[in-house]
Amino acid sequence: MPLNLLDADSDTEFAKREGLWTLNFGPQHPATHTTLRLVLELDGEMIIDATPDIGYLHSGFEKLGEVLDFNQYVTIVDRMNYISPLANEISWHHACEKLLGLELTPRCSYLRTILAELMRIHDHLLCVGACILDLGGVTSMFYCLNERERIFDICERASGQRFHTSFTRVGGLLYDVSDEWLAMVKDFIKTFPSTLKDLNRMVMKNRIFIERTQGVGVLTREEAISGGATGPVARASGVARDLRRDEPYLAYSDLDFDIVCATGGDCFARFQVRMLEIVESLKIIEQCLERVPKGPIFAEGSGKEALPDKREVYTSIEGLIHHFEAIMPNRQMQPPRESLYAYTESPNGELGFYIVSDGTLRAYRAHTRSPSLIHFALFPQLIRGCLLSDIVAVLGSLNIIAAELDR
Amino acid sequence: MTAKASRSLEELFTAWGVTCHEFRQQSQVTIASGMFLSAMAQLRDEAGFDMLTDVTAADLLEYGGEDRYRVVYQLINTTSGKRLEVRVHVNDPEPRLPSMYPLWKSADWLEREVYDMFGVVFDGHPNPKRLLMPEEFQSFPLRKDYPVKGRGERHNFPVITRAES
């Protein structure tokens, strides 16, 4: 793309655009938070058109997915939406398990549900916090980061890693969690609501925040459906779809929770939906904690899909043989030679994986349907007619994660 | 659009002479590229599939079978929640398909990505350019004949010294 859009145009186009100026926003700009570029055409401070230019973080994840096996690729999937890494892992292995036809054990599905909802809180906190930081409110950001830190601790206790946990495995989890871990989560959901209350007062009742976001970047219901929007972005525009309720996976069908919807379709509505979803997530985690059953965490299949418990591998000959059979490419089980598209409700929207299987435990093609890509495509139509300073509000409300955008 | 949402999927499939393949409760249907555009328009207007959630492709070079590229469309009916996977096959030397942009706006970037990665050209696309790779990039990286480590694009980057810049 030419640096100056005016260079590429003919004389008549130039005459029409007289008085307009072009501004290059990014790829390295603190308010984009990640590496993405916008070429803006402005009339004074009014945005006439915006042309996103993406691909700066493209690192060929999908090509790597064709070389690594289902369990190895999870470390790459982690790095897509790095604001909520575990949500990606759960989604990826959900797709693998659906392909293999594995049924999760009750304990595993409850633990994964808790983790998925913790990640939703994690993601929404950063989304709201970072946006209010861009809009000039520094304090609330630290409230968000402080609570995120506690979720990092919870991840660390479970998996040994704070950030890129790589915690899920095909048919189970890397380790079972201890009772102390469950107590840690319980402690979090007990103390977090008071911070959330403060945060709500500071953000959603903040006059500056409301005036900067209300009526800005309006996405109508029809545009949301035609544009493929999902998750909080779609729900803020009145599309009452949530995969957790509509096509339940994990333990969601047993749980009681509400789908948060708004009708405004503007930035404020998107943040409102996110803040209220945090409350629903807390409700879900609370119910899960009461019901987490005891039992194995790895699914029972033909015995070759799921890895055996690490303790067994190190201490018994059967465990070692089991591990060998599950790991060696010529002895592994064979998934059907089919393809499928599986999806979960990630914090950002529908995160789907399309796997073409050639009968090995390595995907022939592993495509990611990333919500950020779809939502960023909506950006030019949202920002047209807004002011230059509204960019941060709209970008923040869509929660664009460049690593997921470019993959 | 909703007024005409009358014909059931089975009726449409019988009219087209295609069969629906079910795998793990997912409906997958393969449509010939000749009737693709009209079929997709019927799916939207008559079967009520108002959201196109994903477009992707797979290079079937090493998979076996006659066709080279499979382009996959994931459709959702947001009223009933029904999903449908539509597949269409295209071949070298000129893999071409009509663009779905006039029917669903979400096709815009998704089709650009498929062009970028596989070189499938979408006729009637408003902005048929690469999405992720740089404009001057020559190959289509997700094709199976493109090596994982690349073809030296990275190693042959021009190095600009401080004196030259």
Residue A104, pLDDT score? 86
Q: Are A95 and A355 in contact (CB under 8 A)?
A: yes
What is residue A13's predicted lDDT score, i.e. its pLDDT?
A: 57
| Any B CB within 8 A of A365 CB | yes
> Of the candidates A18, A1, A16, which has an alpha carbon nearest to the alpha carbon of residue A52?
A1
CA of B136 vs chain A CAs: smallest distance (Å): 10
What is the rounded CA–CA span in Å between residue A330 and residue B134? Answer: 39
Contact A181, A154 (CB under 8 A): yes
Alpha carbon of A39: minimum distance to chain B alpha carbons (Å):
15
Q: Work out the pLDDT band at B3, boundaries 50, 70, 90.
A: very low
Amino acid at residue number B152: G
Distance (Å, rounded) from C-alpha A211 to C-alpha A172?
A: 46
Nearest residue on chain A to B85, alpha-carbon basis: A341
Mean pLDDT of chain A: 86
pLDDT, residue A273, reads 92
Instruction: Answer yes or no: is pLDDT of A91 > 70.
Output: yes
DSSP string, A98-121: HHHT----HHHHHHHHHHHHHHHH
Res. A6: pLDDT tops 70:
no
Taking alpha carbons only, the member of B34, B41, B25, B46 closest to residue B73 is B41
Alpha carbons B122 and B108: distance in angstroms, whole number: 10
Adjacency order of strands within the sheet including A363-369: A339-346, A349-357, A363-369
The domain limits of chain B are: 1-165
pLDDT value at B2 more than 80: no
Which residues, 6 or more positions from A369, have their beta carbon under 8 angstroms from its beta carbon? A341, A343, A350, A351, A352, A353, A354, B53, B54, B56, B74
Mean pLDDT of B109-114: 91
Q: Which of helix, strand or coil describes residue A44?
A: coil
Would you mind telling me the total number of residues written for chain B in this entry?
165
Residue A51, Cβ density class (10 Å: 0-12 exposed, 13-18 middle, ≥19 buried): middle
Report yes or no: A120 and A278 within 8 Å, Cβ to Cβ: yes
Residue A98: which of B24, B108, B134 has the nearest Cβ? B24
Q: Using the beta-carbon criterion (under 8 Å), do A228 and B134 form an inter-chain contact? A: no
Contact of A186 with chain B, judged by CB distance below 8 Å, is answered with no
Fold for A61-294+332-406, please state it.
Cytochrome-c3 Hydrogenase; chain B (1.10.645)
- Residues 6+ positions from A391 with CB-CB distance below 8 Å: A25, A31, A38, A40, A47, A383
**pLDDT for res A7:** 54
Token pair recorded at residue A50: 């915006």
Residue for token pair 């409301």: A210
A221 interfaces chain B, CB cutoff of 8 Å: no
When pLDDT is averaged across residues B77-82 and rounded to a whole number, the result is 86
Question: Does A350 lie at the interface with B, CB-CB under 8 angstroms?
Answer: yes
Count of other CB atoms within 10 angstroms of residue B129: 10
| CB–CB contact A338 B23 (8 Å) | yes
Name the one residue in this structure whose structure tokens are 């909703």: B2
pLDDT tens, residue by residue, A277-328: 999 999 999 999 998 888 888 777 656 667 777 788 899 998 888 888 888 8
A223–B141 C-beta distance less than 8 A: no
Q: Does A101 touch chain B (CB under 8 A)?
A: yes
Give the span between the Cα atoms of A111 and A250, in whole angstroms.
9
pLDDT at B4 > cutoff 60: no
Euclidean distance between CA atoms A91 and A352, whole angstroms: 7
Residue A152 has pLDDT above 80, yes or no: yes
Quick check: B74 and A339 CB within 8 A? Answer: no
Taking the CA of residue A81 and the nearest CA in chain B, the distance in Å comes to 17
The predicted model gives A391-405 an average pLDDT of: 87
- Angle between the A138-159 and A179-203 helix axes, to the nearest 10 degrees? 170
A63 and B148 within 8 Å at the Cβ level: the answer is yes
More confident site: A163 or A5: A163
Token pair in block for residue B38 = 């009209």
Pairing of strands A349-357, B26-30: unpaired
Start and end residues for every CATH 1.10.645.10 domain found in chain A = 61-294+332-406
Percent of chain A with pLDDT over 70: 94
Q: Which helix (H) or strand (E) holds A52?
A: strand A46-53
Q: DSSP labels for A346-358?
A: ETTEEEEEEEEE-
For the structural domain made of B1-165, what CATH number should be given? 3.30.460.80
CB pairs under 8 A between A and B: 100
Number of H helices, E strands in chain B: 3, 7
Query: Do the beta carbons of residue A229 and residue A375 sit within 8 Å?
Result: yes
Residues 6+ apart with CB under 8 A from A356: A339, A363, A364, A365, B58, B63, B70
Closest-CA distance, B63 to chain A, in angstroms, reads 7
Strand ranges, E, within chain B: 20-23, 26-30, 51-59, 69-76, 83-90, 96-98, 121-123
Tell me how far apart the alpha carbons of residues B54 and B50 are, in angstroms, rounded to a whole number: 13
B109, B113, B136, B143: best mutation site toward chain A, by most A Cβ within 10 Å? B109
pLDDT bracket for residue A4 (50, 70, 90): low
Residue A391: its pLDDT value, please? 87
